[in-house]
Structure 1
Amino acid sequence: MTVVVLGIDALDPDLVDPAQHPHLTLENYRSIETISSSAGEPSTHELWPTIITGLKPANHGLTLEDDGVAWGNPLLDAGSTAADYVLPDGLQNRIGEWLLTNTAADAFRTPADYYEENGIETVFDGRDTKPIGIPNYVVDPDEEDREHALRRSLGDLFERDQSAVGGHSSSDADAFYEQCMEMAMIRLARTRRALRNGEYELVFGYTSGLDLIGHVAYDRPDLQHRAYEELDQFVGELRDDLGPEDELLLVSDHGLQDGVHTHEAMVATTNERLVEGVESVTDVRAAIDAELSATDHDRTPRRDIEGPADTHDGDEVREQLESLGYM
């Protein structure tokens, strides 16, 4: 069997409804506690490392106040020490927030090696796993998929705007929506393909599309509602790919309402047992570990055991990836 975890940035427990979103709520869903950053609101940069390690940001070291945004940027690396002495804390936080939301910057790209080098265990250690796009866990820093490329190319479709209610604005909200949903489709297609491959105990995919849309939806709530409806359909397609022994877990790092991060995250699962002890983002890693330790994992490629019809479905997933420019 395979445990599939789908990280949906900003999936908000207050905005899902089992009647309208059966695939975002699955068999069991609930809100969980999250962690606020030094900037005052939950931070994507800090929270996904927390989710995969079970450690609070101060313990895994990828924090805003500790210049966690400066990795891989020579200019910032050279100036970060001086900035500690020159810039007031509030201004440093504002710079950190800008870097994390300026889509032209190479954000969230801490290499996976960081964890081993710092003696930090993750949910991926010692297993056959497939991490897909997780912020600050980059298996190959020289590669990027199309979601990441699309995010960096958003330009004035997504700009930091302190005068806007949600702190962001878009030159064309409808075009922005389409690009964000394409990003979500890419990551869902990659996750489906990894599941169908049948070689992994754990497939952990991630998409930021819902979060980005939420940031500009303070004056276009219809866009956020549409995003939830479409994403529910995308997850439904992933759910259809599950075998009888597979489990699906959805997890978010925070919610998002009126353009601003909220202080609630959520989990949803096909098996209530998987999340029995999950009360906080810090509990997610232990829950995945427990499920993987308690179950057997047949890594026989799914295409060899499910017959021609399922092979055809797998080809459709590959064709979808090709049409999106990923393959």
Structure 2
Amino acid sequence: MVLVVVGIDALDPDLVDPDMHPNLTLTSHRAIDTIDSHAGEPSTHELWPTIITGLPPSEHGLELDDGVAWENPFLRLGSDLAEFVLPDALQTRIGAWLLTNTGADAFRTPATYYGDKSIETVFDGRDAKPIGIPNYVVDPDAEDREHALRRSLGDLFERDPEATGGHRSSDPHEFYEQCMEMAMIRIARARRALRGDRHELVFAYTSGLDLIGHVTYDLHDLQMDAYAEIDEFVGELRNDLGEDDELLLVSDHGLQDGVHTSEAMVAGTNETMVDSIDSVLDVRAAIEAELRRTDHSPDEQALRRTQGDGDAVTEQLEDLGYI
């Protein structure tokens, strides 16, 4: 059995409908609590470390400062001085400019951070494949297509603290196309990891839905088009699941009218696992409980899949009349 977790940033429980989005609601789904940053709304930078550790931001230490991740290695060069000499509003504006006009990225804390701080994560001690998790970067020198696209958006996605949602786009429709490509790539990577039969846990993340939501506050139909397309992408992944595999979707917050909301969601093929999650703080424990429940070793997975493939081949030969 493989447990596949897909983190869909900003998947909003108020915007999904089981009839329209069967693959975003799965067997069971529910709204869950999230955590606001000190700036007053949930922060992606803080919440994915919370989801993989089960710790609030104050305990895992990756906290957002007025919309700018000053502890990021690029920004840390001037952060100590900035804390003393720059007003908060000016820090935010400088950070927005840096993140828009340079290669800086607020979500690239290396995975080694957790071990260095003696912080346990859901990936420790198991055959796991983390894909694109914000602030859990396995190889800081590598980037996949989603990350490369995000870094090259230019004026398609510019940080603007005065705009609704804190961002603006020169061409929302072209921006939409690039965000859909991002989501497609990350979910395709999850499918490939599932098919590889080498991992007990596959955990992939995509930011496409969040990015689109920030610039479509006056284009609600475009935001809902994104939900429909991502539902199709997840459906393709769902079709790859073996009989004993499980799929869990989790978000860090919702997003409506361009602004993060204080309600996240989970959906899954295992109702018991979904029911055990009341907040973003519970996701790690629920994943680990599911991994303990069944043997997820790669050898056991391969055996089950091989047996399943044999049965399918036998049935096909019978249908064709060869046996």
Q: Distance in 1 between matches of 2:259 and 2:296?
A: 40
TM (norm. structure 2) is 0.90
Structure 2 equivalent of residue 217 of structure 1: 216
Counterparts of 1:118-133 in structure 2 under 5 Å? 118-133=117-132
Q: How far does the alpha carbon of each residue in 1:88-139 deviate from its partner, in whole angstroms, 9 at most, with x for none? A: 3454455556666778532311000000000000000000000000000000
CA contact (8 A) 2:5 2:201 kept: yes
Counterparts of 1:1-327 in structure 2 under 5 Å? 1-65=1-65, 68-73=69-74, 76-93=75-92, 95=94, 104-300=103-299, 301=302, 304=306, 307=309
Q: Distance in 2 between matches of 1:254 and 1:103?
A: 27
Does the residue aligned with 2:107 lie in a helix, a strand or coil?
coil
| Larger displacement relative to structure 2 (103-112 or 12-21) | 103-112
Q: How far does the alpha carbon of each residue in 1:141-162 deviate from its partner, in whole angstroms, 9 at most, with x for none? A: 1100010000000000011234
Root mean square deviation of aligned Cα = 2.3
Q: 1:98 to 1:51 in 2, by over 3 A?
A: farther
Q: Distance in 1 between matches of 2:90 and 2:267?
A: 37
Structure 2 equivalent of residue 316 of structure 1: none
Does the residue aligned with 1:83 lie in a helix, a strand or coil?
helix
Q: 1:107 to 1:242 in 2, by over 3 A?
A: same
The one-letter amino acid paired with 2:193 is A
Higher Cα Rg, which structure: 2
Q: How far does the alpha carbon of each residue in 1:227-272 deviate from its partner, in whole angstroms, 9 at most, with x for none? A: 0000000000000011111110000000000111011000000011
Residue 277 of structure 1: how far off its partner (Å): 2.2
Q: Distance in 1 between matches of 2:10 and 2:226?
A: 12
CA contact (8 A) 2:51 2:284 kept: yes
The one-letter amino acid paired with 1:241 is D
Does the residue aligned with 1:70 lie in a helix, a strand or coil?
coil
Q: Distance in 2 between matches of 1:164 and 1:77?
A: 26
Does the residue aligned with 1:203 lie in a helix, a strand or coil?
strand
Q: Distance in 2 between matches of 1:164 and 1:88?
A: 20
Q: Distance in 2 between matches of 1:193 and 1:122?
A: 23
The one-letter amino acid paired with 1:64 is L
Does the residue aligned with 2:202 lie in a helix, a strand or coil?
strand
Q: How far does the alpha carbon of each residue in 1:49-68 deviate from its partner, in whole angstroms, 9 at most, with x for none? A: 00000000000000013974
Structure 2 equivalent of residue 320 of structure 1: none
Q: Distance in 1 between matches of 2:124 and 2:57?
A: 19
TM (norm. structure 1) is 0.88
Structure 2 equivalent of residue 319 of structure 1: none
The one-letter amino acid paired with 1:273 is T
Q: Distance in 2 between matches of 1:93 and 1:161?
A: 10
CA contact (8 A) 1:4 1:204 kept: yes
Unaligned ranges ≥5, structure 1: 311-327
Q: Distance in 1 between matches of 2:289 and 2:233?
A: 27
